Amino acid sequence: MTSSLSSSNRKVAVVTGSSSGIGYETSLTLARNGFLTYATMRNLNKSGNIKSVADKEKLSLKIVQLDVTDDGSVKNAMQSIIAEASRIDVLVNNAGYPLNGAFEDLAMEEIKAQYETNLFGVIRVIQAALPLMRKQKSGIIVNISSGGVTLGGIPGGSAYVSTKFAIEGLSKSMAYELEPFGIKVVLVEPGVIRSDFINNVVAAKKSQDPNSPYAQFMQNVAASLQHMLEGGSSADVVAKVVLKAVTSENPSPKYLAGKDIEAWMEAKTSMSDEEFLNMMKQNLMK
């Protein structure tokens, strides 16, 4: 930490999953643009890179341990932040990981773990922040979703994308309830992003069995994804979209992040559902 945390006129941002990828870039982007930023992460051993950059650039950024799957960790982290900063103006729910595998090959325990992090983790953090946001009568909650929702689904991503569909339903419903308290809810849907997020993919155990009836199908999907990654956007593209949303007087309910998802969305609006589905099959299952 290289700057005072006591500046009363500075807006406060909290970002989950900040050790790498979108969370890492978003935390740094917000800090560089004047936000007093709390970069939270499950494993503090992964904080070296962001701490080094923050120290070098003399950013007002503090690293806090927060495991979104642990009630006690979320409570302690949020209480600590609130006690120190006295307010939360921006909450970015980014922590999550993709579970990869054909649906039939997913074990129930694997699906539950996916939901525990990607959905219930978001719920825990939001519920911990809402009392303060209501009291201060302001705040913006940014939930990082997935372009897979706009696409209507991704082969091999049934568990992951379904958590993002749930987050979108949660966000849109909450928005009605929170608007009277001056709290806004925003969704950001990234396309294919070149980041450590891809390295954090958890392959379903059964999907790694060469005897799985879906083995060849998943190999084709993996090859297509690798090709798409080569033309994917960098994580800072998403960070800039988040910055745009949280600094706007009237943010949109949803933002797309990445040229690929923008192109797909444009195609979707100009095609029939059947035409769009056939196009996605050609791109995702070569």
Which residue is catalytic, options 47, 145, 146, 158? 145
Which residue is catalytic, options 160, 162, 214, 268? 160
Which residue is catalytic, options 62, 164, 254, 268? 164
Show Cβ contacts of residue 167 under 8 Å, excluding neighbours closer than 6 positions: 93, 118, 119, 122, 143, 145, 187
Cα–chain center distance at 233:
15
Indicate if 160 belongs to the active site. Answer: yes
Indicate if 164 belongs to the active site. Answer: yes
Indicate if 145 belongs to the active site. Answer: yes
C-alpha to C-alpha distance for 47 and 22, rounded to whole angstroms: 14
C-alpha to C-alpha distance for 178 and 171, rounded to whole angstroms: 10
Hey, is 30 helix, strand or coil?
A: helix
Note whether 151 and 281 are within 8 A (CB): no
- Host H or E run for residue 234: strand 233-234
> Any idea which residues carry the catalytic annotation?
145, 160, 164
